[in-house]
Structure 1
Amino acid sequence: MKSVISIIVPVYKVEKYLDRCVQSLINQTCKNIEIILVDDGSTDNCPDICDGYVERDTRIKVIHKTNGGLSDARNAGIREATGEYILFVDSDDYINLDTCEQFVLTIDDNVPDIVVGNAKSIENKNTSNIQHNFIASRKVVTGKQYLKAELKSRTMYMMAWLNMYNRVFILNNNLEFKVGLLHEDEEFTPRAFLKAEKIISTDIVFYNYVIREDSITTTKNKAKNAEHLMRTCKELELIYNEIEDAELRRLLMDSLVNKFLSIFQAAGLHRKEYSYLVDKSFLRGKEYTIRNKLRVALFIFNKKIYYYVNKFGKYLKR
């Protein structure tokens, strides 16, 4: 029987967390799934652990490959997948046990390109919701309509693992992840939604996103992250320039302003040694909301003042 959902799990040096993740998959209430563990050249015990799962559950496949990064591992999983739909789960996270069942019930006969879910962010013992604003009960909209609604409410999250994707849709549109890129979801997700003709947004909270001290998002030296995200912004600019819907184009360009200024602040790019990363001209003409018009005006006037105004403002809110 063909699996309804293929769950792709990139695995790299996560032996401490892997079992929690895999247990959340093999114990799904919907049994008609396949689980693809992609060992991305892990140098710990993960390869052996993955092989052990295969012996215990016939729904599990393991791909052993040389290290190529998260994007390369996900792409390898996509090529191996046979399910009608694909879910991405990072190996240090986990999903609720009724996730696949809830998604299957949502699909019905609609055959959507993407089904959107929601998540909980977990850091130490603190949790918060990653919740989309646009939830129309099983109403099918286009990806562009969805993007416009979510961008207006500032709840368009770019994490690829928040969504379930139609496998044929991914293959037909060559929607692979860009290899060698940090923050690969920021580049992949907008492209996917711009191509999608059928989106179903749900109120399903299924994903548990665990923030670790040694993760990419929490690393202290964020210069490399900044360089990759700045490059992504410029690549997305080329795509967004081709969008005919003027309002959507402006909203997406405005979202690039948010990405640019956010990584500038987080990575401390006001310092002289990072001046090569900061292209002020990139921001000009992209700001759309009043908030971003003011932010860009201050940034262009003086990036150091912009940095310290934001830093001081955050300190006051603590």
Structure 2
Amino acid sequence: MYTKEKSKPNGTMPAVSIVIPVYNIGKYLEKCLDSVVAQTFPDIEIIVVNDGSTDNSPEIIARYADKDSRIVVIDKSNEGLAYARKSGIEAARGTYIYHLDGDDYLEFDAIELLYRKAKEEDADMVVFPFSLDYIESGKSECSIEIADEHFTNTEFFSAIAFSKAHWGVWSYLHKRSLYANGVTFHKGLNYGEDVFLTTQLVYFSSRISVLKSKPLLHYIIRESSITNSRFNEKKARDIL
């Protein structure tokens, strides 16, 4: 694994680390990276994990890294989504972490709004609304509207169980310190990987806040994505 890291000029730690796993998504990657480098909140580091891509993703990543000193590039052999995120987390230095899939993109003020909410309420996690964008049909719909403004960990588990909140790791900002509790990663787990990680992060969170705002993330739904691929034995094992 090769890491190309650039330090901030004054040696201080960034407020937020954005971790972006990438595997053969060159068609969508530029829009994702454009949305991140243009964030209105500048105190970020952008950790892009190339998980052994064989398309033009590495070239796109290198081009953006040359232009923006906040970008940290991790090139590694392909081990799957869970370990790509693990590599990004291990390199992260921010007080907060946000996981962004490389084929999705953010509203330009997303990190500013989330960080402000997290600091105001000293929240371990801040969850927020997003939009589901269907590439093939061109349709878009909003995520579940979360009724409450604050949750304990058990209350949030209950909300998820009754379809009143989401599992997706891209639907919340969270403290990096949560990983010090012994959060683990399941190598090779792709389908349901976010459930496995979110369960642990929620368990170790004492205060979960809800940001009431416009949708801040565009979650792209593709026919070829892991979630929408045909059910097979690998998916069954992942669920188990």
TM-score, normalised relative to structure 1 = 0.67
Secondary structure in 1 aligned to 2:131?
strand
Aligned residue number for residue 278 of structure 1: none
The equivalent position to 2:113 in structure 1, one of 83, 86, 102, is 102
**Alpha-carbon shift at residue 165 of structure 1 (Å):** 1.2
**Alpha-carbon shift at residue 179 of structure 1 (Å):** 1.5
- Cα distance between partner residues in 2 of 1:11 and 1:161: 14
After superposition, where does 1:83-162 map in structure 2 within 5 Å? 83-124=94-135, 125-136=138-149, 139=150, 141-152=151-162, 154-162=163-171
Q: Is the 8 A contact 2:146 2:210 kept in 1?
A: no
Aligned residue number for residue 286 of structure 1: none
The equivalent position to 2:234 in structure 1, one of 219, 224, 240, is 224
Secondary structure in 2 aligned to 1:181?
coil
- What amino acid maps onto 1:201 in structure 2? V
Structure 1 vs Structure 2 CA RMSD:
1.6
- Cα distance between partner residues in 1 of 2:68 and 2:181: 32
Q: Is the 8 A contact 1:134 1:149 kept in 2?
A: no
Report which of the two structures shows the higher radius of gyration computed on alpha carbons: 1
Cα pair distance change 1:20/1:176, threshold 3 Å: farther
After superposition, where does 1:1-318 map in structure 2 within 5 Å? 1-124=12-135, 125-136=138-149, 139=150, 141-152=151-162, 154-170=163-179, 172-182=180-190, 183-204=192-213, 205-229=215-239, 231=240
Describe the superposition over 1:176-235 as per-residue Cα deviations: whole angstroms up to 9, x where unpaired.
432211221122212221221111112232111111111111112434212311x1xxxx
TM-score, normalised relative to structure 2 = 0.88
Identity %: 32
Greater relative contact order (CA < 8 Å, ≥ 6 in sequence): 2
Q: Is the 8 A contact 2:118 2:124 kept in 1?
A: no
Aligned residue number for residue 3 of structure 2: none
Q: Is the 8 A contact 1:135 1:202 kept in 2?
A: no
Cα pair distance change 1:222/1:203, threshold 3 Å: farther
**Alpha-carbon shift at residue 62 of structure 1 (Å):** 0.2
- What amino acid maps onto 1:159 in structure 2? G
- Cα distance between partner residues in 2 of 1:45 and 1:108: 38
Secondary structure in 2 aligned to 1:210?
strand
Secondary structure in 1 aligned to 2:101?
coil
**Alpha-carbon shift at residue 19 of structure 1 (Å):** 0.3
Secondary structure in 2 aligned to 1:28?
coil
Q: Which runs of 4+ in 1 moved over 4 A?
A: none
Secondary structure in 2 aligned to 1:118?
coil
- What amino acid maps onto 2:220 in structure 1? V
* Higher fraction of helix: 1
Secondary structure in 1 aligned to 2:26?
coil
- Cα distance between partner residues in 1 of 2:156 and 2:184: 21
